[in-house]
């Protein structure tokens, strides 16, 4: 029998638990009020009687994650290393990143321990795949960051609340489809964080059938790890392309449901001598549907042992200018947290080796 996790338990499930233990059902709402603030420490739930806390201790998994370490970047970014609290398994570790800005606080969450896709320029891809996260372990990352911000707020010029979620941490979210979809339902649920789907972005390397199901089930903002619009190159840079090539990806993007004034983001890491030639630019211009998509050019964030180099700044800037001249929305993403290995493509748990 699966044990309910306090991180993911619903109001109805908690009310049923209260009933089965002859406790008032209104306690369920009190408990979830604490949980939704990020508070999972039972001792911190001041208006919850000890009898109720004992029931939670006995019948639920109170903590899905254990904080191992926290690092702070010079730009305010925070990186968290968590151990998964699983019975009868060696502890697995994941990383989560908080990216604070003036107007928002974005949590970058992981959906797998390691990654199965082996994209050669991504540090996470060099880590052995250790398994899928449960929905509870996915949403618990958000709760843990919320708790940390309560205890350790950001400086005055940065946001100290969680306002946005991006599935851009360790792993391929759509390779863990069932649990990721459950986690999306939780994050948007009225009795949970009640986030708008406009505040959630899921990034995928291009698992076409799963993209189509995401569009039907939970059409949140979509980001595609594109990195090249040339099939032969993408077979190497993003190996899933060998199964779902650019033609099938193009068809799925054409039909993905978009909210008003929203666009799919095409992520493109600029790699020197790999995908930054005029041929690459021309292919990218041909691939993009300007009415439905925007291009986010990403500076390559290096890591130990990498054979790749980032494109020169002027090359990246010229890419952006050329795209814009063709009527394509294009931006150059500013790296955040690279001094603590928390930037795009740098996540890899130290516990898994170097």
Active site residue 95: yes
φ, ψ (nearest 5 deg) of residue 200: -125, 130
DSSP-based three-state secondary structure for 181: helix
Of 95, 179, 267, 293, the active-site residue reads 95
Contact between residue 112 and residue 67 where contact means Cβ atoms under 8 Å apart: no
Count other C-beta atoms under 10 Å from residue 79's C-beta: 21
Nearest C-alpha neighbor of 285 from the set 221, 237, 330? 330
φ, ψ (nearest 5 deg) of residue 209: -60, -40
> Rounded CA gap, 208 and 289, in Å?
17
Containing 328, the helix (H) or strand (E) segment is: none
Active site residue 190: no
Nearest C-alpha neighbor of 54 from the set 30, 84, 23? 23
> Rounded CA gap, 41 and 62, in Å?
8
Of 115, 119, 122, 344, the active-site residue reads 344
> Rounded CA gap, 5 and 3, in Å?
6
First and final C-alpha spacing in the chain:
37
> Rounded CA gap, 104 and 112, in Å?
25
Residues marked active site are found at: 95, 344
């Amino acid at each position: 029998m699966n044990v309910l996790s306090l991180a993911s338990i619903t109001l109805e499930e908690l009310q049923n638990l209260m009933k089965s233990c002859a406790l008032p059902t209104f306690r369920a709402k009190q408990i979830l009020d604490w949980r939704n603030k990020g508070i999972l420490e039972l001792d911190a739930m001041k208006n919850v009687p000890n009898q109720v806390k004992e029931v939670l201790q006995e019948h639920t998994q109170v903590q899905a994650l254990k904080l191992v370490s926290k690092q702070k970047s010079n730009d305010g970014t925070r990186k968290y290393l968590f151990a998964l609290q699983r019975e009868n398994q060696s502890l697995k570790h994941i990383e989560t990143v908080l990216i604070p800005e003036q107007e928002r606080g974005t949590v970058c969450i992981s959906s797998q321990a390691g990654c199965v896709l082996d994209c050669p320029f991504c540090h996470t891809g060099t880590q052995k795949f250790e398994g899928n996260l449960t929905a509870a372990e996915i949403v618990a990352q958000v709760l843990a960051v919320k708790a940390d911000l309560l205890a350790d707020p950001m400086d005055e010029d940065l946001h100290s609340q969680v306002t946005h979620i991006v599935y851009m941490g360790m792993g391929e979210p759509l390779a863990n489809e069932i649990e990721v979809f459950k986690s999306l339902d939780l994050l948007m649920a009225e009795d949970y964080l009640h986030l708008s789907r406009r505040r959630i972005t899921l990034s995928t390397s291009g698992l076409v059938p799963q993209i189509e199901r995401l569009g039907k089930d939970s059409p949140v903002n979509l980001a595609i790890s594109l990195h090249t619009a040339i099939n032969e190159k993408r077979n190497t840079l993003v190996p899933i392309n060998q199964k779902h090539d650019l033609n099938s990806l193009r068809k799925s993007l054409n039909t993905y449901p978009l909210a008003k004034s929203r666009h799919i983001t095409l992520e493109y890491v600029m790699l020197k001598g790999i995908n930054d030639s005029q041929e690459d630019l021309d292919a990218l211009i041909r691939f993009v549907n300007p009415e439905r998509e925007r291009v986010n050019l990403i500076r390559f964030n290096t890591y130990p042992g990498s054979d790749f180099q980032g494109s020169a700044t002027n090359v990246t800037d010229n890419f952006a200018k050329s795209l814009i001249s063709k009527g394509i929305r294009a931006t150059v993403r500013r790296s955040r947290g690279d001094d603590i290995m928390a930037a795009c493509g740098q996540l890899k748990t130290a516990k898994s080796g170097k």
